[in-house]
Amino acid sequence: MQEKLPGSLFFIGGCRSGKSRLAEEFVDRHFLHPCYVATMTMSQDPELRERLEIHQKRRGAHWQLLEEPRHLARLLLSPAECDVMLIDCLTMWLTNLLLADLDDQDIRAEVATLLQAVAASAVPVVMVANEVGLGIVPETPLGRRFRDLAGWLNQQVAECCQRVIFVAAGLPLVLKDVSR
């Protein structure tokens, strides 16, 4: 029986859990013309630059790369020459919004706009984010604000997606699947 593909999919897990790799493998299995939407742009930091280059090599040349640190909704609603968009990662996107000095109300509006764009997208959307609620309580007010917003963002994304997959130790656990 052929697997029914969801319109939107959410891979969530801890740092270095394997969520990006699993999301990329899912896209490679089901789509011919994938688009990778990077929310972190090429960095001047040598370690980050090396990580980004490893990710690019792992994906291969058939992936189209778009770097968009802030305006994901606009990107999802523009015509793209791809049959799926993989956004990696929403946690970095949230960080970019915080660094742009958006207040919580503006961030919530950005999230609402993103979710509307996901629902209206002409192609399936696969999203990746970090689960930040399994660790310690951050020491600083900014750290707690980030944790709270990231937790809220993840809940909103999970609610709108047809399939949600939690990743731990490189293993997927399906939390939600309305396509079955």
**159-175 burial: b if 16+ Cβ within 10 Å, else e:** ebbbbbbbbeeeebeee
Between β-strands 163-168 and 34-38, what pairing exists: parallel, antiparallel or unpaired? unpaired
Determine which one of 30, 33, 55, 71 is catalytic: 55
Active-site residue, 62 included: no
- Provide CB contacts within 8 A for 37, sequence distance 6+: 66, 67, 68, 72, 75, 85, 86, 87, 88
> Number of H helices and number of E strands within the chain?
6, 7
**82-111 burial: b if 16+ Cβ within 10 Å, else e:** bebbbbbbbbbbbbbbbeeebeeeebeebb
Residue 48: half-sphere exposure toward Cβ, Cα within 13 Å: 7
State the catalytic residues: 55
